[in-house]
């Protein structure tokens, strides 16, 4: 994102992170436009026993929304959240297509 900001922001409409250790402020180096883009286009699924897609908050405002994978087992996180990830991706794609019109 930092090396090709405009290219990424124009071509990528959804980013799914699974139990990621990214720290968004470091990734964006404090750039508010990039932080806003991350907030709108990224979502992270984390290990948590809450029902799938239930919000578990966010560490700081510039991080992306964080939701539950419905599993506390690391090796189950991708498979338990896969359907939810594609549902979210499709929603983001529709929003992206509408903004291009």
Composition of the chain by helix, strand, coil, percent to 5: 50, 15, 35
Read off the pLDDT of residues 62-91 as tens digits, 9 standing for 90 and up. 578 888 888 888 787 777 887 888 877 666
Residue 94 lies in a domain: no
Q: What pLDDT is attached to residue 5?
A: 84
Residue 9: predicted pLDDT: 86
Specify if 99 maps to a domain.
no
Domain residues for the domain of 70 are 1-87
Q: Which residues of the chain are modeled with pLDDT < 50?
A: none
Question: How many domains does one find in the chain?
Answer: 1
| Residue 95 forms part of a structural domain | no
In a domain, 47, yes or no: yes
Task: Tell me if the pTM is above 0.75.
Answer: no
What are the strands, taking DSSP E only, across 8-96?
15-18, 42-46, 55-57, 66-68
Phi, psi of 50 (to 5 degrees): -60, 160
């Amino acid at each position: 994102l930092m090396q090709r900001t405009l290219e990424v922001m124009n071509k990528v409409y959804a980013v799914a992170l699974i139990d990621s250790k990214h720290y968004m402020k470091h990734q964006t180096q404090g750039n508010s436009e990039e932080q806003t883009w991350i907030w709108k286009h990224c979502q992270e699924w984390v290990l948590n026993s809450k029902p799938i897609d239930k919000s578990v908050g966010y560490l700081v405002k510039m991080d992306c929304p964080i939701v539950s994978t419905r599993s506390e087992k690391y090796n189950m996180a991708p498979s338990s959240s896969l359907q939810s990830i594609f549902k979210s991706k499709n929603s983001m794609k529709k929003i992206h297509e509408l903004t291009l019109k």
